[in-house]
Structures are given as C-alpha cells and as structure tokens.
Amino acid sequence: MAARDWELVGAPNARDLGGLPAADGRRVRPGRLIRTAALGRLTDDDLPVLGKLAPACVVDLRHGTEQVVAPPDRLVGEPRVVHLPVYDAAHPVFTYVSAVLLGHDLDAYDELAREGMPAAMAAIYRWFVTGESARAGFGAAVRLAADGANLPLLFHCSAGKDRTGWLSVVLLTALGVDEAVIRADYLRHNELTESLREVLLAAMTRHRSDLDPAVARPLLEVRPQYLDAAYDEVRRVHGSFGAYLRDGLGVDDATVAALRANLLE
C-alpha cells in the first residue's frame, strides 16, 4: 500500500519506512514498519486507514505520566500493545522540556535556559544512547521488530519525532540503510508537520505570554544537530554503530539476521 493511501489526519508525520534502499541491494518491505505520533488524536476517518495497515504490534515509547495527560490511543482490531517507556523523570533536561511544554515556572532552569533549547535537545539525544531506560526500550523494540509475529509493527512516542526518530535510525541502520537516507527520513518530520507546528507555537505563546517562540520552536522541530549528537555519542561510547547495537542495546547478530530476513525484500 502506497504511503499516499494511508495518510492519517490525526498523525500527520506518520509514514511507512518501506521502500528505503537497504543492505545487499534490497529494500525495506512496505507495510511492515510504521512510525507515527501518538494515536489519541486520530479522526474517525483515520480508523479505517489504520485498519488497512493492520499493525500486529503497537510499541508505545511514552512514560505513564505522558500517557495519562494524553487522549488514549485509538486502535483498530486487537494489536499487541507493548509499553517501552523511554524517559527519565529525574533527568534535568527532561524536567526542563516538560516545564516549557506544560507552562510551569522556568526560574529553576536558568542554566539550561541560557544554554538554549537546541542544546537541551542535543543532551536528550545523547541520553538516548546511554540512558538506562533508553537502552532497554530501544533494544526491546528492535527484538520485537525481528519477530515476524509482531509485523506489521507500529511504533510511536508523543510527537513521533525524537524517540520515534531515534528508534527509526536504529532499525534502519540495522537493516543496512545508508546514513544519508536515514537522515533524510528523520528530517521529513519538519515538512510533514509545518502547519501543525505553527498552530502549536501560537497556542503555547497565547497560553504563556512570557514564552518566546524562539525558545519553543526548537522543541517542536527535528534538527541535524540533534541527530549528530546521538551519532557522536554512539562513536564516543561504543566506537561504531554495530558495537552500540550489540553492547548498548543487546541486539546480537542473530537478531539482526532475523530483522533483515523479515523486513527486507
């Protein structure tokens, strides 16, 4: 099914990773790996589209504290739902970002505010590589994707851009997709959500007159420097992406082989 056949109004950055060129001249199978934002804002018209996609497994990377303040995912059928929270409530950058999003007092975050939101986002991406719940969640998600019983697999966080974006990077790298292709897919979020982003910015600044849109905008976008921060952390800690998969995420050669067998054509 072509991507244009299943646009989701309530998740405008949703996309199939199928068709991307991968290892050994092969391609990622269409309709097997679907990345989206949280599914709680799907419209009634979106539900038959999701039904056609028919995910066997839905991976939710949100923490429980994020789930309770959001509308519940709207699902079709009875997919296996797996919660793999990639979040650290004690991490100062996470609490700063939450404070900006929720309109809380930012006085306690003067140092982070001085460094700027792009620096905060880069710190989160470095944490994706080394954080305990990040390594556990991303590793478990890859193992789920390697099991044909879980395909099609749909995965999401809240906005479907950062945790979802990095999991896409991990999966596509394991499948042998070139870094330039992976980067292009990662950056597509911005074009797919441009109008939504402006609406969100307007709402945030209307709710908080003291919030500079220039502070909030980097939080609502993906940027090359965020991805670079994660790649740099992979090299710094593990030396190579293969070592990160093996030692950081516990994804062994057999899992990578199963992933490629099930997800490449």
pTM summary value: 0.92
Chain center to CA of 118: 17
The whole-chain average pLDDT of the chain stands at: 91
Mean pLDDT, range 144-165, rounded to an integer: 96
Whether 157 is catalytic: yes
For 11-24, give the DSSP string. Answer: STT-EE-TT-B-GG
Nearest to 3 by CA among 192, 263, 164: 192
What confidence tens digit (pLDDT) does each residue in 106-151 have? 666 666 677 788 888 999 999 999 999 999 999 999 999 999 999 9
Question: What does CATH list as the number for 15-263?
Answer: 3.90.190.10
Count how many Cα atoms sit within 13 Å of the Cα of residue 36 in the half-sphere of its side chain. 28
Q: Which helix (H) or strand (E) holds 55?
A: none
- Catalytic-role residue among 157, 170, 177, 204: 157
What confidence tens digit (pLDDT) does each residue in 65-79 have? 889 989 999 999 999
